[in-house]
Amino acid sequence: MYRILAREDYSDVTFMIEVEHPMMARAARPGQFVIVRLNDQGERIPLTLADFDAARGTVTLVVQAVGKTTMQMKAECRPGSVLQSLVGPMGMPSSVGRPGKVVGVGGGLGVAPIYPQLRAHKENGSYVIAVLGFRSRDLVFWEDRFRKVCDELVLCTDDGSAGLKGRVTDGLHQVLEHHRDITEVIAIGPAVMMKACSELTRERGIRTMVSLNPIMVDGTGMCGGCRVTVAGKMKYACVDGPDFDGHQVDFEELMRRLNRFRGDEKAALERWRKHAASCNLRRGISEES
């Protein structure tokens, strides 16, 4: 059981939880992920670490409530409540390499996980640029955190209410036009976004690392559910990754494989929504009486 110490909501779907796990807080490195399980019937879901603080003894997860388990987390995770299982850190840590000029592109669920990577690059002496995408101004989070570890920050919003009007790929394109000496791009977010970023850098020959998020069960190399094709070879994202060279990843296959349980996921979500609604109804009635 792992206690949740803090929670903050960033939008109607995005929220942050800080969980107590002193040993993991010490062991965690940028790029690694954890597996969370809520209860005895619960599935095991992988989430990339958004932060870790050895001094506080905590790890931070930023979650987007888009499926059954993440919706349930949004409803149930509160300061003082617990996660039944929290395993990790898993996967190979990202390699920081020699100092250079690094761009981190984060969109959707990839905004938070790009943060520890950029912090590590900053500490390593690199010139750091962040390109972050949000729907609109009021959904922007962690701007202050990013400003602290970045030399430049490019915000992109769908409606133009903050920063650049457009997608992160537009932001990345602008940065690549402006800086001709970028040594590395890191892209984390939906597969389609990572693919688009990799296409932008391919012709310029800039090393591009992406963090893959395939379906997993155990997260320890045992089930093979997370296999991806990289440079024509089969890799297991959980133990061989999750970071891979974006120019070598078969994104089409990854995107197809992410749809593997589409029907079941929808059914599970519907079932949970009904259950949650009836619980709320019951709670409402008992509060009224």
Partner 1 sequence: MREQNAAVRRGNFDEVALGYNLKEALREAERCLDCSRPGCVTGCPVHIDIPAFIRLIRAGKYREAYDHLTEDTVLPAVCGRVCRQEDQCEKDCTVGKKLQAVAIGRLERWLGDMAIEKGWHQKHAIRPNGFRVGIVGSGPAGLACAADLARSGCEVIIYEALHRPGGVLRYGIPEFRLPDQVIEAEIANLLRLGVKVQCDTLVGRLFTLEQMLGEMGFDAVFVGTGAGYPKFMGIPGEGLNGVLSANEFLTRCNLMGAHRFPYCDTPVNLGRTVAVIGAGNTAMDATRVALRMGVEKVRCVYRRSREESPAREEEVRHAEEEGVEFLWLTNPVEILGSGEGFVRGIRCVRMEMGEPDETGRRRPVPVPDSEFDIEADSVIYAIGTNANPIMGQTSRLELDKRGYIRTNERLETSIPGVFAGGDIVTGAATVIQAMGAGRRAARSILNRLGVRTC
Say whether residue 116 binds partner 1 (CB under 8 A): no
**Closest separation in Å from C-beta 62 to partner 1:** 21
**Closest separation in Å from C-beta 113 to partner 1:** 17
For partner 1, the closer CB: 41 or 286: 41
**Closest separation in Å from C-beta 229 to partner 1:** 6
Instruction: Look at residues 10, 45, 62 and name the one whose alpha carbon lies nearest to residue 189.
Output: 62
Measured at the CA of 48, the angle between CA 185 and CA 54, to 5 degrees, comes to: 100
**Closest separation in Å from C-beta 252 to partner 1:** 9
Say whether residue 274 binds partner 1 (CB under 8 A): no
Q: What are phi and psi of 58, to 5 degrees?
A: -130, 160
Among 95, 160, 264, 277, binds partner 1 (CB under 8 A): 264
Measured at the CA of 131, the angle between CA 158 and CA 209, to 5 degrees, comes to: 120
**Closest separation in Å from C-beta 256 to partner 1:** 4
Say whether residue 94 binds partner 1 (CB under 8 A): no
For partner 1, the closer CB: 37 or 122: 37
Which range touches partner 1 (CB under 8 A), out of 9-17, 22-30, 120-128, 149-157?
22-30
Say whether residue 82 binds partner 1 (CB under 8 A): no
Which range touches partner 1 (CB under 8 A), out of 176-184, 202-210, 235-243, 280-288?
235-243
Question: Amino acid letter at 150?
Answer: C
Say whether residue 174 binds partner 1 (CB under 8 A): no
Positions in the binding site for partner 1 (CB under 8 A): 23-24, 27, 32, 37, 41-44, 68-69, 84-90, 92, 217-225, 227, 229, 234, 236, 239-240, 250, 253, 256-257, 259-261, 263-265, 267-268, 271
